[in-house]
Amino acid sequence: MLKWTHYFSGITMLRRSAVGIALLVMVVALQPLSAAYCDTLQPQENPDGWNLVFQDNFPGQRLNTENWVTCYWWDWEGCTNEGSGEDQWYLPDNVSVRGGALRLEAREETVEEATNGETYAYTSGMVTTGRSESDTNAPGKFIFQYGYVEVRADPPSGQGLWSAIWLLPEDHTSKPEIDMVEILGNQPETLEMHVQFLDENGERSSDGWEWYDPELAEGAHTFAVDWQPDLIIWYLDGTEVWRYTPESPWTTPMYLLINLAVGGDWGGPPDSSTVFPSEFVVDYVRIWQRKADPSESCS
């Protein structure tokens, strides 16, 4: 199994209070933007200048398998991300559609992974628009280059639960990576946003920001990221919360992942207070692309 992680320990992350973040947003707002930066905020339904290229409102009672697979591309009748120290085994049975929403369910149940007999104490669910096989010549479900990704979702609270919405390269490498949403269940009021990349020396590097909002722990919220050639902007409920400018354009096509991890090196394992089963509920996923090349026009 390929082992890698989308959160590397020992890397200094930028973490600031809400006051510091507010000051950053004010400073960024005062800085001039180049013509390549489309700064017109998010689409609303089908606005002029945008094409809706992917959408799933999760109707009916079954996952649309034309849009999603239920594991990483190393799908061996289940999967996990051992590089992050996670404790769950992802299974298709933990992914369901009910009540107009996608539901990724973490359960406390012991399973034995068929390939090497390793035992996991938890199961959970994940979906991606990538592939369920290692052949990069095989078509993915939905792979795209640049776009505005919007997901309305309700991450669960609870020690050891780790909700994530992120983008990875379609060539099955692990960099660059855009972490649109990471929320630890023991800090449900804090939105973590990260980028992972290789620096000019080919070394793994990372940058990130966190946004504190007490209302984040209550109910569903709309998360979005606008991935442009030279700029990435994160939004929470229509408000810009962070922007990142890569040193060089990130041109690699990517796919979308949504998962509910259990345990992990970052948030730690569940404890007696953690409620199982717990669900990461996703109301919808929408992806738009600008009708014009964002490096040329923002109209």
Exactly one of 170, 182, 192, 279 is catalytic; which is it?
182
What is d(CA 276, CA 4) in angstroms, rounded to the nearest whole number?
Answer: 27
Are the C-beta atoms of 237 and 221 separated by less than 8 Å?
yes
- 136-170 burial: b if 16+ Cβ within 10 Å, else e: eeeebbbbbebbbbbbbbbbbbbbbbbbbbbbbbb
Q: Which residue has the tokens 């209550």?
A: 218
Active site residue 66: no
Can you state the percent helix, strand and coil of the chain, rounding each to 5?
10, 40, 50
Amino acid type, 74: W
Exactly one of 86, 150, 170, 177 is catalytic; which is it?
177
Q: Is 275 exposed, middle or buried (0-12, 13-18, 19+ CB in 10 A)?
A: middle
CA atoms within 13 A on the CB side of 119: 4
How far CA 253 is from CA of 173, 196, 233, 249, 250, in Å, comes to 11, 15, 17, 12, 9
Listed in sequence order, the residues at least 6 apart from 266 whose beta carbon sits closer than 8 Å to its beta carbon are 7, 9, 84, 162, 184
Which residue blocks in the chain are alpha helix, DSSP H? 18-30
The DSSP letter of residue 216 is G
Active site residue 182: yes
Whether the bond into 176 is cis, omega within 30 of 0: yes
What is d(CA 89, CA 78) in angstroms, rounded to the nearest whole number?
Answer: 6
Catalytic residues: 177, 182
